[in-house]
A and B are shown apart, each in its own frame.
Chain A
Amino acid sequence: MCWSIPGKIISICGNMAKVEISGVHKDVGLDLIDDSAIGEYVLVHAGYVIQKVNEESAKFTIDFFKKRGTKEL
Protein backbone atom coordinates (compact mmCIF):
# COMPACT_ATOMS: atom_id res chain seq x y z
CA MET A 1 0.00 0.00 0.00
CA CYS A 2 3.00 2.27 0.45
CA TRP A 3 3.37 2.19 -3.31
CA SER A 4 4.50 5.45 -4.85
CA ILE A 5 5.30 6.29 -8.42
CA PRO A 6 7.45 8.96 -10.05
CA GLY A 7 5.75 11.66 -12.10
CA LYS A 8 6.58 15.04 -13.59
CA ILE A 9 4.89 18.25 -12.43
CA ILE A 10 3.28 19.94 -15.43
CA SER A 11 1.29 22.69 -13.70
CA ILE A 12 0.73 24.12 -10.22
CA CYS A 13 -2.36 25.86 -8.82
CA GLY A 14 -2.24 26.80 -5.14
CA ASN A 15 -1.50 23.69 -3.08
CA MET A 16 -2.45 21.35 -5.95
CA ALA A 17 -0.40 20.22 -8.95
CA LYS A 18 -1.07 18.34 -12.14
CA VAL A 19 1.43 15.51 -12.44
CA GLU A 20 2.09 13.35 -15.48
CA ILE A 21 2.55 9.70 -14.53
CA SER A 22 3.29 7.36 -17.45
CA GLY A 23 1.22 9.56 -19.77
CA VAL A 24 -1.71 10.00 -17.37
CA HIS A 25 -2.44 13.37 -15.79
CA LYS A 26 -3.38 13.37 -12.11
CA ASP A 27 -4.28 16.18 -9.69
CA VAL A 28 -2.30 15.80 -6.46
CA GLY A 29 -1.77 17.72 -3.22
CA LEU A 30 1.46 19.61 -2.55
CA ASP A 31 0.91 20.07 1.19
CA LEU A 32 3.75 17.72 2.16
CA ILE A 33 6.64 19.34 0.30
CA ASP A 34 8.16 22.81 -0.03
CA ASP A 35 9.22 24.71 -3.13
CA SER A 36 7.96 22.50 -5.92
CA ALA A 37 8.45 23.63 -9.52
CA ILE A 38 7.08 22.75 -12.94
CA GLY A 39 9.27 20.13 -14.62
CA GLU A 40 10.43 18.51 -11.36
CA TYR A 41 10.04 14.77 -10.84
CA VAL A 42 8.20 13.80 -7.68
CA LEU A 43 6.91 10.68 -5.93
CA VAL A 44 3.11 10.49 -5.68
CA HIS A 45 1.34 8.44 -3.02
CA ALA A 46 -2.42 8.34 -2.31
CA GLY A 47 -3.09 11.68 -3.98
CA TYR A 48 -0.18 13.65 -2.51
CA VAL A 49 3.42 14.36 -3.49
CA ILE A 50 5.47 12.79 -0.69
CA GLN A 51 9.00 13.53 -1.92
CA LYS A 52 10.98 15.00 -4.79
CA VAL A 53 13.13 12.64 -6.86
CA ASN A 54 16.77 13.50 -6.42
CA GLU A 55 18.07 13.40 -9.99
CA GLU A 56 21.75 13.35 -9.08
CA SER A 57 21.32 10.44 -6.66
CA ALA A 58 19.22 8.54 -9.20
CA LYS A 59 22.01 8.78 -11.75
CA PHE A 60 24.62 7.88 -9.14
CA THR A 61 22.76 4.74 -8.01
CA ILE A 62 22.12 3.35 -11.48
CA ASP A 63 25.71 4.10 -12.40
CA PHE A 64 26.97 2.01 -9.50
CA PHE A 65 24.64 -0.84 -10.21
CA LYS A 66 25.60 -0.82 -13.88
CA LYS A 67 29.33 -0.29 -13.90
CA ARG A 68 31.03 -0.44 -10.55
CA GLY A 69 29.17 -2.89 -8.39
CA THR A 70 27.87 -1.66 -5.07
CA LYS A 71 31.06 -1.32 -2.99
CA GLU A 72 30.77 2.40 -2.48
CA LEU A 73 27.00 2.65 -2.26
Chain B
Amino acid sequence: MTKYLDEYRDKKVCLELLEKVKEISTKPLRIMEVCGGHTMAIRKNGIQKLVGGNIKLISGPGCPVCVTAIEDIDKIVSLAGFKNVSICTFGDMMYVPGTSSSLSKISAAGGDVRIVYSVLDVLEFARSEKAKHFVFISIGFETTAPTEAAAIIQADRENLDNFSVIALNKTMPQALKAVLQDKNSKIDALICPGHVSAITGTDMYKSIVEDLGVSCCVSGFEPVDLLGSIYKLTELKEENKTALINAYKRAVCPEGNKKAQEIIYEVFEEGDTNWRGIGVIQKSGLKIKEKYKKFDAERRFDIKPEKSIETTECICGDILRGAKTPRDCALFKRVCTPTNPKGACMVSSEGTCSAWYKYGE
Protein backbone atom coordinates (compact mmCIF):
# COMPACT_ATOMS: atom_id res chain seq x y z
CA MET B 1 0.00 0.00 0.00
CA THR B 2 1.24 3.47 -0.86
CA LYS B 3 0.39 5.97 1.83
CA TYR B 4 -1.55 9.05 0.67
CA LEU B 5 -2.37 7.43 -2.67
CA ASP B 6 -4.27 4.18 -2.21
CA GLU B 7 -6.83 5.51 0.28
CA TYR B 8 -7.75 8.18 -2.29
CA ARG B 9 -8.37 5.50 -4.90
CA ASP B 10 -10.82 3.50 -2.76
CA LYS B 11 -13.57 2.23 -5.07
CA LYS B 12 -16.21 2.07 -2.33
CA VAL B 13 -15.66 5.72 -1.36
CA CYS B 14 -15.75 6.73 -5.04
CA LEU B 15 -19.08 4.99 -5.59
CA GLU B 16 -20.59 6.58 -2.49
CA LEU B 17 -19.48 10.05 -3.60
CA LEU B 18 -20.84 9.39 -7.08
CA GLU B 19 -24.24 8.46 -5.66
CA LYS B 20 -24.27 11.65 -3.60
CA VAL B 21 -23.48 13.75 -6.68
CA LYS B 22 -26.30 12.13 -8.65
CA GLU B 23 -28.70 12.52 -5.75
CA ILE B 24 -28.31 16.30 -5.51
CA SER B 25 -27.56 17.30 -9.11
CA THR B 26 -30.54 18.96 -10.84
CA LYS B 27 -29.02 22.04 -12.51
CA PRO B 28 -26.62 22.27 -15.45
CA LEU B 29 -23.12 22.90 -14.11
CA ARG B 30 -19.99 23.73 -16.14
CA ILE B 31 -16.84 23.02 -14.16
CA MET B 32 -13.42 23.83 -15.58
CA GLU B 33 -10.56 21.68 -14.39
CA VAL B 34 -7.67 24.08 -14.75
CA CYS B 35 -4.75 21.67 -14.49
CA GLY B 36 -3.66 19.26 -17.24
CA GLY B 37 -2.98 16.67 -14.55
CA HIS B 38 -6.64 16.89 -13.52
CA THR B 39 -7.71 16.51 -17.16
CA MET B 40 -5.74 13.28 -17.39
CA ALA B 41 -7.05 11.96 -14.07
CA ILE B 42 -10.66 12.77 -15.00
CA ARG B 43 -10.40 11.08 -18.40
CA LYS B 44 -8.35 8.11 -17.16
CA ASN B 45 -10.88 7.35 -14.42
CA GLY B 46 -13.91 7.96 -16.65
CA ILE B 47 -15.21 10.60 -14.25
CA GLN B 48 -17.04 12.67 -16.89
CA LYS B 49 -19.08 9.64 -17.94
CA LEU B 50 -19.76 8.63 -14.35
CA VAL B 51 -21.06 11.98 -13.07
CA GLY B 52 -23.67 12.22 -15.80
CA GLY B 53 -25.33 14.75 -18.04
CA ASN B 54 -25.92 17.83 -15.86
CA ILE B 55 -22.25 18.24 -15.11
CA LYS B 56 -19.85 19.17 -17.89
CA LEU B 57 -16.14 19.01 -17.12
CA ILE B 58 -14.18 21.39 -19.34
CA SER B 59 -10.40 21.43 -19.64
CA GLY B 60 -8.62 24.69 -18.95
CA PRO B 61 -5.31 26.33 -19.81
CA GLY B 62 -3.25 24.43 -17.25
CA CYS B 63 -0.94 22.44 -19.49
CA PRO B 64 2.28 24.45 -19.76
CA VAL B 65 3.41 22.71 -22.93
CA CYS B 66 0.06 23.43 -24.63
CA VAL B 67 0.14 27.15 -23.85
CA THR B 68 3.73 27.72 -25.01
CA ALA B 69 3.48 30.18 -27.90
CA ILE B 70 4.71 29.11 -31.33
CA GLU B 71 7.09 32.12 -31.31
CA ASP B 72 8.76 30.60 -28.24
CA ILE B 73 9.08 27.18 -29.89
CA ASP B 74 10.70 28.84 -32.92
CA LYS B 75 13.07 30.67 -30.58
CA ILE B 76 14.14 27.39 -28.96
CA VAL B 77 14.62 25.73 -32.36
CA SER B 78 16.79 28.66 -33.45
CA LEU B 79 18.89 28.43 -30.28
CA ALA B 80 19.53 24.73 -30.95
CA GLY B 81 21.49 25.79 -34.03
CA PHE B 82 24.21 27.54 -32.00
CA LYS B 83 27.59 25.79 -31.88
CA ASN B 84 28.33 23.86 -28.69
CA VAL B 85 24.88 24.51 -27.27
CA SER B 86 22.86 21.66 -25.80
CA ILE B 87 19.11 22.13 -25.29
CA CYS B 88 17.72 20.39 -22.19
CA THR B 89 13.99 20.01 -21.78
CA PHE B 90 11.11 18.14 -20.19
CA GLY B 91 10.02 15.39 -22.59
CA ASP B 92 6.74 16.75 -23.92
CA MET B 93 8.39 19.83 -25.39
CA MET B 94 10.30 17.64 -27.86
CA TYR B 95 7.38 17.14 -30.20
CA VAL B 96 5.63 20.52 -30.10
CA PRO B 97 5.63 21.73 -33.69
CA GLY B 98 7.13 25.14 -34.39
CA THR B 99 6.63 26.87 -37.72
CA SER B 100 8.93 24.58 -39.68
CA SER B 101 10.72 22.41 -37.13
CA SER B 102 10.65 20.97 -33.61
CA LEU B 103 13.18 19.78 -31.04
CA SER B 104 12.59 16.16 -32.09
CA LYS B 105 13.50 17.05 -35.68
CA ILE B 106 16.62 18.88 -34.49
CA SER B 107 17.56 15.82 -32.45
CA ALA B 108 16.93 13.46 -35.38
CA ALA B 109 19.23 15.61 -37.49
CA GLY B 110 22.04 15.13 -34.94
CA GLY B 111 21.49 18.15 -32.69
CA ASP B 112 22.27 17.89 -28.98
CA VAL B 113 18.83 17.84 -27.36
CA ARG B 114 18.49 16.12 -23.99
CA ILE B 115 15.35 15.12 -22.11
CA VAL B 116 15.63 15.63 -18.36
CA TYR B 117 13.48 14.85 -15.34
CA SER B 118 14.69 17.87 -13.39
CA VAL B 119 16.70 21.04 -13.86
CA LEU B 120 19.10 19.46 -11.35
CA ASP B 121 20.13 17.06 -14.15
CA VAL B 122 21.11 20.07 -16.27
CA LEU B 123 23.31 21.48 -13.50
CA GLU B 124 25.07 18.12 -13.39
CA PHE B 125 25.71 18.25 -17.18
CA ALA B 126 27.11 21.77 -16.82
CA ARG B 127 29.45 20.70 -14.03
CA SER B 128 30.82 17.71 -15.93
CA GLU B 129 30.92 18.99 -19.56
CA LYS B 130 32.61 22.37 -19.43
CA ALA B 131 33.11 22.65 -23.21
CA LYS B 132 29.36 22.88 -23.80
CA HIS B 133 26.73 25.43 -22.86
CA PHE B 134 23.49 23.96 -21.50
CA VAL B 135 20.21 25.79 -22.01
CA PHE B 136 17.24 24.58 -20.01
CA ILE B 137 13.74 25.25 -21.36
CA SER B 138 12.14 26.63 -18.23
CA ILE B 139 8.41 26.03 -18.61
CA GLY B 140 5.72 25.42 -16.04
CA PHE B 141 3.49 27.26 -13.62
CA GLU B 142 4.01 28.17 -9.96
CA THR B 143 4.69 24.50 -9.11
CA THR B 144 7.77 24.28 -11.32
CA ALA B 145 9.04 27.88 -11.19
CA PRO B 146 10.64 27.55 -7.72
CA THR B 147 12.63 24.50 -8.83
CA GLU B 148 14.01 26.47 -11.77
CA ALA B 149 14.69 29.52 -9.59
CA ALA B 150 16.47 27.35 -7.00
CA ALA B 151 18.68 25.91 -9.75
CA ILE B 152 19.63 29.40 -10.97
CA ILE B 153 20.55 30.42 -7.41
CA GLN B 154 22.61 27.23 -7.10
CA ALA B 155 24.36 27.90 -10.45
CA ASP B 156 25.14 31.43 -9.29
CA ARG B 157 26.56 30.10 -6.02
CA GLU B 158 28.80 27.67 -7.94
CA ASN B 159 29.64 30.30 -10.57
CA LEU B 160 28.58 27.95 -13.38
CA ASP B 161 29.03 29.95 -16.58
CA ASN B 162 27.90 27.27 -19.04
CA PHE B 163 24.27 27.10 -17.85
CA SER B 164 21.32 29.31 -18.73
CA VAL B 165 17.57 29.07 -19.20
CA ILE B 166 14.90 30.30 -21.58
CA ALA B 167 12.31 31.49 -19.10
CA LEU B 168 8.85 30.68 -20.45
CA ASN B 169 7.27 30.32 -17.01
CA LYS B 170 3.68 31.36 -16.57
CA THR B 171 1.48 32.14 -13.60
CA MET B 172 -2.15 31.29 -13.07
CA PRO B 173 -4.23 34.15 -11.60
CA GLN B 174 -4.39 36.54 -14.58
CA ALA B 175 -4.84 33.70 -17.08
CA LEU B 176 -7.75 32.26 -15.12
CA LYS B 177 -9.42 35.65 -15.03
CA ALA B 178 -8.91 36.03 -18.81
CA VAL B 179 -10.52 32.63 -19.46
CA LEU B 180 -13.41 33.25 -17.07
CA GLN B 181 -14.14 36.65 -18.62
CA ASP B 182 -14.31 35.09 -22.12
CA LYS B 183 -18.03 35.13 -22.97
CA ASN B 184 -17.77 31.80 -24.82
CA SER B 185 -16.40 29.87 -21.84
CA LYS B 186 -19.45 30.13 -19.51
CA ILE B 187 -17.78 28.52 -16.52
CA ASP B 188 -19.70 28.15 -13.24
CA ALA B 189 -16.92 26.73 -11.10
CA LEU B 190 -13.24 25.81 -11.09
CA ILE B 191 -11.41 22.72 -9.91
CA CYS B 192 -8.21 24.54 -9.00
CA PRO B 193 -4.74 23.07 -9.53
CA GLY B 194 -3.56 21.24 -6.42
CA HIS B 195 0.18 21.56 -6.80
CA VAL B 196 0.18 25.15 -8.06
CA SER B 197 -1.85 25.87 -4.93
CA ALA B 198 0.66 23.99 -2.75
CA ILE B 199 3.07 26.79 -3.65
CA THR B 200 0.71 29.80 -3.95
CA GLY B 201 -1.82 28.90 -1.27
CA THR B 202 -5.57 29.32 -1.67
CA ASP B 203 -5.80 33.06 -1.01
CA MET B 204 -5.14 33.88 -4.66
CA TYR B 205 -8.58 32.48 -5.61
CA LYS B 206 -10.48 34.86 -3.31
CA SER B 207 -10.84 37.54 -5.99
CA ILE B 208 -12.15 34.97 -8.50
CA VAL B 209 -14.87 33.95 -6.06
CA GLU B 210 -15.69 37.46 -4.87
CA ASP B 211 -15.30 39.51 -8.07
CA LEU B 212 -16.30 36.99 -10.74
CA GLY B 213 -18.81 34.90 -8.76
CA VAL B 214 -17.13 31.63 -9.69
CA SER B 215 -16.71 28.92 -7.03
CA CYS B 216 -13.22 27.51 -6.62
CA CYS B 217 -12.33 24.12 -5.16
CA VAL B 218 -8.66 23.17 -4.77
CA SER B 219 -8.38 19.46 -5.44
CA GLY B 220 -5.94 16.59 -5.27
CA PHE B 221 -5.43 14.27 -8.22
CA GLU B 222 -6.89 10.95 -7.12
CA PRO B 223 -10.47 9.84 -7.94
CA VAL B 224 -11.72 10.38 -4.37
CA ASP B 225 -10.25 13.90 -4.39
CA LEU B 226 -11.89 14.76 -7.70
CA LEU B 227 -15.30 13.25 -6.92
CA GLY B 228 -15.30 14.96 -3.51
CA SER B 229 -14.54 18.29 -5.21
CA ILE B 230 -17.25 17.76 -7.84
CA TYR B 231 -19.73 16.91 -5.08
CA LYS B 232 -18.88 20.07 -3.17
CA LEU B 233 -19.17 22.29 -6.27
CA THR B 234 -22.49 20.65 -7.20
CA GLU B 235 -23.81 21.29 -3.71
CA LEU B 236 -22.86 24.98 -3.97
CA LYS B 237 -24.55 25.30 -7.37
CA GLU B 238 -27.75 23.66 -6.11
CA GLU B 239 -27.80 26.07 -3.16
CA ASN B 240 -27.04 29.08 -5.41
CA LYS B 241 -23.89 29.84 -3.44
CA THR B 242 -20.30 30.59 -4.40
CA ALA B 243 -17.37 29.77 -2.18
CA LEU B 244 -13.68 28.94 -1.99
CA ILE B 245 -13.03 25.39 -0.77
CA ASN B 246 -9.79 23.61 -0.04
CA ALA B 247 -10.36 19.89 -0.59
CA TYR B 248 -6.60 19.18 -0.70
CA LYS B 249 -5.60 20.24 2.78
CA ARG B 250 -2.96 17.54 3.06
CA ALA B 251 -0.84 19.55 0.61
CA VAL B 252 -2.31 23.04 0.49
CA CYS B 253 -2.67 25.76 3.11
CA PRO B 254 -4.09 29.30 2.69
CA GLU B 255 -0.69 31.03 2.53
CA GLY B 256 1.10 28.32 0.50
CA ASN B 257 4.83 27.59 0.60
CA LYS B 258 6.34 30.94 1.60
CA LYS B 259 9.92 29.82 1.12
CA ALA B 260 9.26 28.65 -2.44
CA GLN B 261 7.49 31.94 -3.19
CA GLU B 262 10.49 33.90 -1.92
CA ILE B 263 12.84 31.84 -4.10
CA ILE B 264 10.66 32.47 -7.19
CA TYR B 265 10.70 36.24 -6.65
CA GLU B 266 14.40 36.31 -5.77
CA VAL B 267 15.13 35.24 -9.37
CA PHE B 268 12.06 36.20 -11.39
CA GLU B 269 9.81 39.22 -11.76
CA GLU B 270 6.34 39.49 -13.27
CA GLY B 271 6.07 40.21 -16.97
CA ASP B 272 3.58 40.05 -19.81
CA THR B 273 3.60 36.79 -21.73
CA ASN B 274 2.00 35.18 -24.75
CA TRP B 275 -0.27 32.15 -24.17
CA ARG B 276 -0.87 29.96 -27.20
CA GLY B 277 -4.51 30.27 -28.13
CA ILE B 278 -5.23 33.05 -25.68
CA GLY B 279 -2.76 35.81 -26.56
CA VAL B 280 -0.66 38.15 -24.45
CA ILE B 281 -1.85 38.39 -20.84
CA GLN B 282 -0.41 41.13 -18.67
CA LYS B 283 1.58 40.06 -15.61
CA SER B 284 1.08 36.36 -16.34
CA GLY B 285 4.70 35.41 -16.92
CA LEU B 286 7.98 35.27 -15.04
CA LYS B 287 11.08 36.97 -16.43
CA ILE B 288 14.63 36.69 -15.07
CA LYS B 289 15.67 39.69 -12.99
CA GLU B 290 18.64 41.87 -13.97
CA LYS B 291 20.62 40.43 -11.04
CA TYR B 292 20.60 36.97 -12.68
CA LYS B 293 20.79 38.09 -16.33
CA LYS B 294 23.85 35.93 -17.06
CA PHE B 295 21.54 32.91 -16.72
CA ASP B 296 19.04 34.32 -19.23
CA ALA B 297 19.68 32.56 -22.56
CA GLU B 298 17.73 35.24 -24.44
CA ARG B 299 20.14 37.93 -23.23
CA ARG B 300 23.18 35.71 -23.67
CA PHE B 301 22.59 34.59 -27.26
CA ASP B 302 21.62 36.67 -30.27
CA ILE B 303 18.61 34.51 -31.16
CA LYS B 304 17.06 35.18 -34.55
CA PRO B 305 14.07 32.87 -35.02
CA GLU B 306 12.15 32.45 -38.26
CA LYS B 307 8.88 34.32 -38.72
CA SER B 308 6.26 32.31 -36.84
CA ILE B 309 3.14 31.11 -38.62
CA GLU B 310 0.35 29.38 -36.67
CA THR B 311 -1.67 26.61 -38.36
CA THR B 312 -5.08 28.10 -39.07
CA GLU B 313 -7.09 24.86 -38.94
CA CYS B 314 -6.02 23.85 -35.43
CA ILE B 315 -8.49 25.00 -32.73
CA CYS B 316 -6.25 24.39 -29.71
CA GLY B 317 -6.74 28.02 -28.72
CA ASP B 318 -10.52 27.66 -28.42
CA ILE B 319 -10.07 24.38 -26.55
CA LEU B 320 -7.64 25.95 -24.06
CA ARG B 321 -10.22 28.66 -23.30
CA GLY B 322 -12.95 26.08 -22.78
CA ALA B 323 -14.92 27.49 -25.71
CA LYS B 324 -14.69 24.31 -27.85
CA THR B 325 -13.86 20.62 -27.41
CA PRO B 326 -11.71 18.31 -29.55
CA ARG B 327 -14.96 16.99 -31.05
CA ASP B 328 -15.37 20.39 -32.76
CA CYS B 329 -12.00 20.11 -34.52
CA ALA B 330 -11.84 18.93 -38.15
CA LEU B 331 -8.29 17.64 -37.63
CA PHE B 332 -8.91 15.63 -34.43
CA LYS B 333 -8.30 11.88 -34.91
CA ARG B 334 -8.28 12.26 -38.72
CA VAL B 335 -5.14 14.31 -39.38
CA CYS B 336 -4.03 15.13 -35.84
CA THR B 337 -3.01 12.09 -33.79
CA PRO B 338 -0.43 11.44 -31.04
CA THR B 339 2.04 10.14 -33.63
CA ASN B 340 1.39 13.06 -35.98
CA PRO B 341 0.28 15.96 -33.78
CA LYS B 342 -0.74 19.23 -35.41
CA GLY B 343 -1.42 21.17 -32.25
CA ALA B 344 0.09 21.35 -28.78
CA CYS B 345 -3.01 19.89 -27.09
CA MET B 346 -2.33 16.61 -28.89
CA VAL B 347 1.43 16.69 -28.24
CA SER B 348 1.44 16.98 -24.50
CA SER B 349 0.46 13.90 -22.53
CA GLU B 350 -1.65 16.28 -20.42
CA GLY B 351 -3.26 18.04 -23.36
CA THR B 352 -7.03 17.87 -23.81
CA CYS B 353 -6.84 16.34 -27.30
CA SER B 354 -4.33 13.74 -26.15
CA ALA B 355 -6.56 12.80 -23.17
CA TRP B 356 -9.66 12.54 -25.38
CA TYR B 357 -7.74 10.47 -27.93
CA LYS B 358 -6.31 8.10 -25.32
CA TYR B 359 -9.29 7.66 -23.02
CA GLY B 360 -12.25 8.42 -25.29
CA GLU B 361 -14.67 11.30 -25.43
Q: Which residues of A line the B interface, CB within 8 A?
A: 1-6, 8, 22, 29, 31-34, 41, 43, 45-48, 50-51, 53-55, 57-58, 60-62, 64-66, 69-70, 73
Count residues of B near A (Cβ-Cβ below 8 Å). Answer: 62
Contacts of A34 in B (CB 8 A): 259
- In the complex, the 6 A-B pairs of residues with the closest C-beta atoms, listed nearest first: A47-B118, A57-B249, A58-B250, A2-B143, A6-B4, A31-B150
Q: Which residues of B line the A interface, CB within 8 A?
A: 2-5, 7-8, 10, 13, 16-17, 20, 35-37, 62-65, 90, 92, 117-121, 139-141, 143-144, 146-147, 150, 153-154, 193-196, 198-199, 221, 224, 228, 231-232, 235, 245-253, 257, 259-260, 263, 348, 350
Q: Assess whether B250 is in contact with A46, with CB atoms less than 8 Å apart.
A: no
Q: Assess whether B195 is in contact with A41, with CB atoms less than 8 Å apart.
A: no
Q: Assess whether A70 is in contact with B251, with CB atoms less than 8 Å apart.
A: no
B146 touches which of A3, A8, A48, A70 (Cβ 8 Å): A48
Would you give 22 A-B contacts (Cβ < 8 Å), ordered by A?
A1-B65, A1-B90, A1-B140, A1-B143, A2-B140, A6-B2, A32-B146, A32-B259, A33-B260, A41-B4, A45-B143, A45-B147, A45-B195, A48-B147, A50-B195, A50-B199, A51-B199, A57-B250, A65-B224, A66-B13, A70-B228, A73-B245
Q: A10–B139 Cα gap in the complex (Å)? A: 30
Contacts of A22 in B (CB 8 A): 2, 5
Q: Considering only CB atoms, which chain B residue lies closest to A62 in the complex?
A: B7
Contacts of A2 in B (CB 8 A): 35-37, 62, 64, 140-141, 143-144, 193-196
Q: A30–B247 Cα gap in the complex (Å)? A: 26
Q: Assess whether B4 is in contact with A53, with CB atoms less than 8 Å apart.
A: yes
Contacts of A29 in B (CB 8 A): 120, 147, 150
Q: Assess whether A33 is in contact with B259, with CB atoms less than 8 Å apart.
A: yes
Q: Assess whether B117 is in contact with A53, with CB atoms less than 8 Å apart.
A: no
Contacts of B260 in A (CB 8 A): 32-33, 50
Contacts of A47 in B (CB 8 A): 117-121, 147
Q: 17 more A-B contacts (CB under 8 A) besides A2-B140, A32-B146, A65-B17?
A: A2-B141, A4-B143, A4-B195, A31-B154, A32-B257, A32-B260, A45-B195, A46-B117, A46-B118, A46-B119, A47-B121, A51-B198, A51-B257, A55-B250, A58-B250, A62-B8, A70-B235
Q: Assess whether A70 is in contact with B232, with CB atoms less than 8 Å apart.
A: yes
